Amino acid sequence: MTFICEPIALDNIGILKDGKIIQKGNPQDIIMKPADDYISDFIKDVNRGKVIKVETIMKTGSCKGSDIASTLPLENALQMLNKTSIKECNVIDTEGKKIGIVSLNRAISALSTKNKKIVKKDINNY
């Protein structure tokens, strides 16, 4: 029997196989860095746009674009990024401080299930 939870509201989750924990952690970490092919297959239908937050894929720097909240899910961030002429936004924390930038290309890349082991340093080239 398989139970699938909506991981957005959970801080930590665990994925079991044959009664053993295969991977546990933050939903974003599991989505971005699945431990093995079993986990990759298990999460393949998860809407990455609802789980992955802007802060997970941002890189250092600043731009002349608009500001976007670090905790915003990519699903919502894509709309904002697409509306800007430079296709980049400054990422701001909860206090309004600029902490990095995110581009439309990085957001789209992070949504791809082909990038199943993508991490911040791996997508700095986008």
pLDDT at 10: 65
Number of domains in the chain: 2
pLDDT at 66: 93
Same domain, 63 and 41: no
Same domain, 36 and 61: no
Task: Return the exposure string of 63-97: e unless at least 16 CB atoms fall within 10 Å of the residue's CB, then b.
Answer: bebeebbbebbbeebbebbeebeebbbbbbeeeee
pLDDT (tens digit, 0 to 9) for every residue of the chain, 126 residues total? 344 444 445 688 899 999 999 999 998 899 999 999 999 999 999 999 999 999 999 999 999 989 999 999 999 999 999 999 999 999 999 999 999 999 999 999 999 876 544 444 444 444
pLDDT at 117: 44
Same domain, 117 and 56: yes
Same domain, 41 and 57: no
Same domain, 27 and 66: no
Same domain, 14 and 70: no
